[in-house]
Structure 1
Amino acid sequence: MDAFKLMKELRMNYEQEVYYLPKETGLSLIESTAQDDSRISAKCRDAKAEDLWSLTSFFGYSTQTFVLAVNLLDRFLAMMRIQQKHLSCVSLSCLHMAAKVTEEECNLTPTDELIRIGQCRFTVSDLGRMEKIITEKLNFKSKAITALTFLHLYHQITLSHSTARKETLSLEKLEAQLKACLCRISFSKAKPSVLAFSLLRQEIEAIQSEDMLEIAYHIQRHLKIADSELLLWSGRVAQCLSDYASPECSKPNHRKLQWIVSRRTAQNLHSYRSIPELPTIPEGCWDESESEDSCEDVMSSGEESLSSSLGSDAEGPFFPLHLRRQKHGQHLLA
Structure 2
Amino acid sequence: MKFAEPLESQRLSFLLEKAASREAKMWKVYVPKKPSNQDTDISPAQRDEVVRWLSDLHSGLKLYPETLSLTISILDRFLAIVKARPKYLRCIAIACFFLAAKTNEEDERIPALRDLARTSSCGCSPSEILRMERIVLDKLNWDLHTATPLEFLQIFHAMVLSCKSQFLAGLLGVNPSQHMSLLTRQLHHCLADHALLQIRGSMLALALITLELEKCCPDWLALTISLLKKAQIDSSQLICCRELVARCLTTHQASLPPNTVYIYQPLRRSLASCDWGAAGPEEPPPVRLHCKPSAKRKVEEMEVDEFYDGIKRLYNEDSVQEGGEGQGQACGTTLARQEGSSSPCPPLQPVRVT
Q: Deviations over 1:148-196 (max 9, x none)?
A: 1110000111101112263726111110100000001222221111100
CA deviation after TM superposition for structure 1 residue 139, in Å: 1.8
Higher helix share: 1
SS of residue paired to 2:143: coil
- 2:130 aligned residue: 128
CA deviation after TM superposition for structure 1 residue 217, in Å: 1.8
Q: Would the aligned equivalents of 1:20 and 1:146 in 2 still touch at CA under 8 Å?
A: no
The separation in 2 between residues aligned to 1:67 and 1:35, in whole angstroms, is 30
RMSD value, Cα: 2.2
- 2:225 aligned residue: 217
- 1:114 aligned residue: 116
The separation in 1 between residues aligned to 2:294 and 2:37, in whole angstroms, is 34
- 1:147 aligned residue: 149
Match of 1:176 among 185, 194, 201: 185
CA deviation after TM superposition for structure 1 residue 243, in Å: 2.1
Q: Would the aligned equivalents of 1:34 and 1:41 in 2 still touch at CA under 8 Å?
A: no
SS of residue paired to 1:31: coil
Q: Which amino acid aligns with 1:242?
A: T
- 2:20 aligned residue: 14
Q: What are the equivalent positions in structure 2 for 1:287-306 lying under 5 Å apart? A: none
Against the structure 1 CA distance between its residues 6 and 16, is the aligned structure 2 distance closer, same or farther, given a 3 Å change threshold? same
Against the structure 1 CA distance between its residues 85 and 222, is the aligned structure 2 distance closer, same or farther, given a 3 Å change threshold? same
Q: What are the equivalent positions in structure 2 for 1:86-101 lying under 5 Å apart? A: 86-101=88-103
The separation in 2 between residues aligned to 1:203 and 1:248, in whole angstroms, is 24
- 1:245 aligned residue: 253
Higher relative contact order (CA 8 A, sep 6+): 1
CA deviation after TM superposition for structure 1 residue 11, in Å: 1.5
Identity of aligned residues (%): 26
SS of residue paired to 1:171: helix
The separation in 2 between residues aligned to 1:331 and 1:98, in whole angstroms, is 45
The separation in 2 between residues aligned to 1:140 and 1:201, in whole angstroms, is 34
The separation in 2 between residues aligned to 1:213 and 1:115, in whole angstroms, is 48
Which protein has the larger Cα radius of gyration, Structure 1 or Structure 2?
2
- 1:200 aligned residue: 209
Q: Which amino acid aligns with 1:4?
A: Q
User: What are the ranges of 5 or more consecutive residues in structure 1 without an aligned counterpart?
Assistant: 250-329
Q: Would the aligned equivalents of 1:190 and 1:233 in 2 still touch at CA under 8 Å?
A: yes
SS of residue paired to 2:111: coil
Q: Deviations over 1:77-114 (max 9, x none)?
A: 11110111111110000000001111111011111111
- 1:307 aligned residue: none
Aligned pairs, how many? 250
The separation in 1 between residues aligned to 2:163 and 2:197, in whole angstroms, is 30
The separation in 2 between residues aligned to 1:57 and 1:73, in whole angstroms, is 18
The separation in 2 between residues aligned to 1:165 and 1:226, in whole angstroms, is 24
User: What are the ranges of 5 or more consecutive residues in structure 2 without an aligned counterpart?
Assistant: 1-6, 258-292, 298-354
Q: Would the aligned equivalents of 1:99 and 1:108 in 2 still touch at CA under 8 Å?
A: yes
Match of 2:244 among 236, 239, 242: 236
The separation in 1 between residues aligned to 2:97 and 2:156, in whole angstroms, is 26
TM-score, normalization by structure 1: 0.70
Q: Deviations over 1:17-54 (max 9, x none)?
A: 123323x3xx32x2322573431000110000000100
Against the structure 1 CA distance between its residues 331 and 233, is the aligned structure 2 distance closer, same or farther, given a 3 Å change threshold? farther
CA deviation after TM superposition for structure 1 residue 56, in Å: 0.5
Q: Deviations over 1:275-298 (max 9, x none)?
A: xxxxxxxxxxxxxxxxxxxxxxxx
Q: Does 1:156 align with 2:158?
A: yes
Q: Would the aligned equivalents of 2:167 and 2:213 in 1 still touch at CA under 8 Å?
A: no
CA deviation after TM superposition for structure 1 residue 143, in Å: 2.0
Match of 1:69 among 56, 68, 71: 71
- 2:314 aligned residue: none
- 1:191 aligned residue: 200
SS of residue paired to 2:42: coil
Q: Would the aligned equivalents of 1:148 and 1:196 in 2 still touch at CA under 8 Å?
A: yes
SS of residue paired to 1:245: coil
Q: Deviations over 1:179-222 (max 9, x none)?
A: 00000122222111110000000001012332x54333211012
The separation in 1 between residues aligned to 2:46 and 2:131, in whole angstroms, is 22
The separation in 2 between residues aligned to 1:222 and 1:151, in whole angstroms, is 14
Q: What are the equivalent positions in structure 2 for 1:267-286 lying under 5 Å apart? A: none
Q: Which 10-residue stretch deviates more, 139-148 or 6-15?
A: 139-148
SS of residue paired to 1:16: helix
